[in-house]
Amino acid sequence: MKKLLAGLLAVILTMSLVACGESSGGNSASESSGASETSTSGDSGRTDDFNRTELLKKQSEKVLGKGESSEISVNTDIADKNYIELDIKSDGKIIGTFEYSDVNDPAKKNAEEFFIEPSEGTTEFRQFLDAFREGSRATYNKKFEKITFKNLEDKECKFEIIRLSVSDRKLPTKDTEIYIGSGDIKLGIDLSCGGSITYLERTDYDGNKLEEVIRDGNVVVDLEASANCDEKLSDKVNLINIADRGREIQQSYYAEVDEKNGYTRVECDTAGFMQKWPYNPVQGGDCHNNQSQIIDYRADENSIYVKVRALDWAQDNVTTKSYMENIYTIKDDMVYVDNRFVDWTGFYGEIGLHTNELPAVYIIQSFSNFVCYTGSSPWTNGELTIERSLGFWGSGAHTNNNHTEDWFAWVNANNFGVGVYVPNTGAYASGRVNQSVSSKYVGNSNAYQSAMYNDYLYNKAEPSSLYTNCYVSNTSYTAPVITTSMKEYVPMSYTYVLAVDYVSVMRNNFKALAASETIKNENIKAWA
C-alpha cells in the first residue's frame, strides 16, 4: 500500500497552489494568447463533465535571470469559471501570479500567487481560484488579464508553458464533508475546514456498537455502554473534537519570525489569555473562524487527496504563502495519512527555532486517559505510562521527549480509544482543557455553543444533546513535535496512522508497522 501511496503522492504533489498576493516586479516580457472552448469528461482522474476554455497554447521556452520576471498577456473573459489548469516545465523555483478583474467592474482586481517547484518533467498545476469559501475575495465573473512568473533561484531558470486552461469545475459550498469507509472505520474530512479530519467513527467492533452515554453523571463513550447506564445519547459517535477550526486532526506549523523578518505579529486569545502569536499556518482556518482556501482535491471510494493554502492562525482571513497536502486511505481498520508542507513566504533574516505539530490531534474529551511508552526497551511489551488527570497542555501537562515506541493513545477507563503512530518524532505535547468528564462541567455540556456547529456553512448534523463530544469545548490533545527552524521552499513530509481499538491491540499493530519499516518518515527532518 505504501508503494501505491508513494506513487500517487509523486504524481499529485507535483501540483502547486495559489492565493492572494501582489503582482511580481522585475523585468518583464509580454506575449498575447488565443482562447478556445472544449468539453471534457473524466480528465486527469475527474469523473465530472465540465467545459474548459483554453487560455494559452504552448509557449516557447523562456529564460529568466536571477530575480527576473516574465509577463504573459491573456485578456480573456472566463465568466464564472474558476478552476485553473496549468501544465508547465521548470528547472527552478518560480513564483507565479494570476491576475484578473471583475467583468462588470474592471476597477475591481485581484491577484493570486502560486509556487512551482523544480521538476524534470511536466508539472500539472491545478487550482481553484478564491471564489468558493466563506470570506473569499473573488466571487464575481472574471476577465483573466495576465499571468506572471518570477525566478527565485540565484541563477538562471528555464520554464515552458505547455498549456493554460480554465474550466467550470466547482467546489461544493454545502455538503462539504467527504467520507470514505473500509471495514469498520468511517473517516470524514471537511473541505470547509481545509480538508482536515473532522470525523472518525468505529462503526462496529465484533458486533458491538460504540455509544455515547451519561453514566453516573459523567459523559462516557464505550462499547455497548447503554447496557449499564441511564441515558443513551448516540450510537454514531464522532471521535474527533471539532469545536472550532483549530481543533480536528490537521497540519499546523510555526516560524519564529517578527518585524526583523518582515512579519508583524498580532495578539491572539489562547485559553483565555492574550499573546502575540508567531507565524502559524493552520490547515482548518484561523482563530476568527475563517476558512482556509482549498486549492485542489480528488476523492473516490478508497482515498481522498486535498491541497490547501492555510490561513495564518492569529491573523484575520490572511492566506499564507504555503501549501499543505494530504492523502487519506484506510487499510486493515486503520487510517493512513500522508502529509506534505512547503512554505514560500520568503521571510528574510534568520528564522528562529519553534516547535511544530506533526500533526495536531484533538480527540473527544470522554477519552480522557493518556497512554504512551517512554521506557528504554521499545516493542518488548514493557510497562506503559498512563496519565489519568492531565491538565492544560499550555501549562506543560505532558511534554516527555522520550516516546520510544512512536505512538500515543487517548482512551476510556476500559483502555479503548484512539491511537496515533508517528515514527521519527519522539517528543509529545499533551493535555486537556479540563480534567473533568462530568456532565456538570460546562465545557462538557456546551455543544450548541460550538463555532463549528453554529457555522451553518458546514451543514453538519445537529448535536444529539448538550454533551455531544465532538462539539464541546473540553478536549484531549496531543501533538508529536519537533523543534526546528522552518526552511523556506523546502518541503517537509511525513506519514501517520490512526487506530480505534483497545490499547493492547493497537500497540501490537503499531509494533508490526515498526518491524516492517513501512513508514520511516525520513523527510520529517528536512528542516533540521
Percent of the chain with pLDDT over 70: 89
Q: What is the DSSP letter of 395?
A: G
With contact defined as beta carbons under 8 Å apart, do 503 and 514 qualify? no
Find, among 234, 279, 186, the residue nearest to 485 by Cα.
Answer: 279
201 and 157 together in one domain = no
- 134, 135, 449 from 457: Cα distances, Å: 8, 12, 16
Q: Are residues 213 and 261 in the same domain?
A: yes
Of the candidates 132, 167, 202, which is a domain's last residue?
Answer: 167
Average pLDDT over residues 1-16: 38
Q: Give the whole-angstrom CA distance, residue 403 versus residue 429.
A: 11
pLDDT of residue 455: 67
Average pLDDT of the residues of the chain: 88
Look at residue 43 in the predicted model and tell me its pLDDT: 37
Which amino acid would we find at residue 257?
V
- CA dist 188 and 511 (Å) reads 26
182 and 315 share a domain? Answer: yes
Can you give the pTM of this predicted structure?
Answer: 0.90
- Phi then psi for residue 342, to 5 deg, are -145, 135
Q: What is the pLDDT of residue 162?
A: 97
CB atoms within 10 A of CB 474: 24
User: Would you state the pLDDT for residue 86?
Assistant: 97
265, part of any domain: yes
Q: Are 50 and 113 in contact (CB under 8 A)?
A: no
Domain shared by 163 and 187, yes or no: no
Q: Cell digits for 461? A: 448534523
User: Same domain for 355 and 410?
Assistant: yes
Residues in the chain: 528
Say whether pLDDT at 373 is over 50: yes
Does any domain span residue 34?
yes
Q: What is the rounded distance in angstroms from the CA atom of residue 19 to the CA atom of residue 317?
A: 12
Residues 145 and 199 in one domain: no
CA distance 108 to 141: 11
CA angle 179, 312, 258 (to 5 degrees): 155
Instruction: Report DSSP state, residue 310.
Output: P
CA angle 206, 383, 517 (to 5 degrees): 70
Residues 6+ apart with CB under 8 A from 4: none
Tell me: pLDDT of 294 over 90: yes
Per-residue pLDDT for 309 more than 80? yes
Categorize the per-residue pLDDT at 35 as very low, low, confident or very high, splitting at 50, 70 and 90: very low
Pairing of strands 142-151, 94-102: antiparallel
Cell of 363: 480527540
The answer to whether position 246 is within a domain reads: yes
Q: Is residue 37 scored above 60 in pLDDT?
A: no
| 108 plus 231 within the same structural domain | no
Q: For residue 518, which of 331, 376, 382 has the smallest C-alpha distance?
A: 331
Contact 178, 299 (CB under 8 A): yes
Instruction: Give 425-477 pLDDT, tens digit per residue.
Output: 878 999 999 999 999 999 999 999 988 887 644 446 678 889 999 999 999 99
117 assigned to some structural domain: yes
Same domain, 216 and 349: yes
Q: How far apart are CA 181 and CA 202, in angstroms?
A: 10
CATH code of 44's domain:
2.60.120
Mean pLDDT, residues 181-205 taken together? 96
Q: Which of 108, 142, 167 is the C-terminal boundary of a domain?
A: 167
The pLDDT of residue 175 is 85
Contact 109, 36 (CB under 8 A): no
Element (H, E) at 244: none
On whether the CB atoms of residues 59 and 31 are closer than 8 A, the answer is: yes
- For residue 131, being part of any structural domain is answered with yes
Check which CATH number belongs to the domain holding 481 and give it.
Answer: 2.70.98
Q: Is residue 172 part of a domain?
A: no
At residue 224, what is the residue type? E
Grid cell digits, residue 298? 480528488
153 lies in the same domain as 181? no
| pLDDT for 2 beyond 60 | no
Contact between 15 and 123 (Cβ < 8 Å): yes
Question: Which tens digits make up the pLDDT trace of 218-258?
Answer: 999 999 988 888 789 999 999 999 999 999 999 999 999 99
Query: Could you write out the DSSP letters of every residue in 21-70?
Result: -PPP-S---------EEEEEESGGG--SEEEEEEEE-----EEE-TT-EE
pLDDT of residue 387: 93
Lowest-confidence segment of 118-127, 158-167, 219-228, 504-513 by average pLDDT: 219-228
Judge whether 19 and 113 are in contact, CB under 8 Å.
yes
CA dihedral defined by 276, 279, 284, 287, rounded to 10 degrees?
A: 20
Mean pLDDT value across residues 321-333: 97
Indicate whether 213 belongs to any domain: yes
Q: Is residue 388 part of a domain?
A: yes
Same domain, 193 and 125: no
Helices (H), 372-517: 451-454, 503-516
Residue 461 pLDDT: 65
Say if strands 49-56 and 142-151 run parallel, antiparallel, or are unpaired: unpaired
Please count the structural domains in the chain. Answer: 2
Q: Compute the Cα dihedral for 517, 369, 426, 248 and give only its sign.
A: positive
Question: CA-to-CA distance for 462 and 445, rounded, in angstroms?
Answer: 14
Are residues 441 and 307 part of one domain? yes
- Among the three residues 111, 140, 167, which one is the final residue of a domain in this structure? 167
Closest CA to 135 of 79, 174, 192, 176: 192
In 3D, which of 197, 146, 124, 170 has the Cα closest to residue 294? 170
Specify the pLDDT at position 272. 67
Using one digit for the tens of pLDDT, what is the confidence trace for 112-136?
999 999 999 999 999 999 999 988 9
pLDDT band at 31 (very low <50, low <70, confident <90, very high): very low
- C-alpha–C-alpha distance, residues 39 and 225, integer Å: 54
Cell numbers at residue 58, please?
Answer: 504552448
Residue 405 and residue 425 in contact, taking contact as beta carbons nearer than 8 Å? no
Residue (of 104, 32, 98, 452) closest to 295 by Cα position: 98
End-to-end CA distance of the chain: 28
Is pLDDT above 80 for 166? yes
Which residues form the domain of 265? 177-525
Residues 389 and 408 in one domain: yes
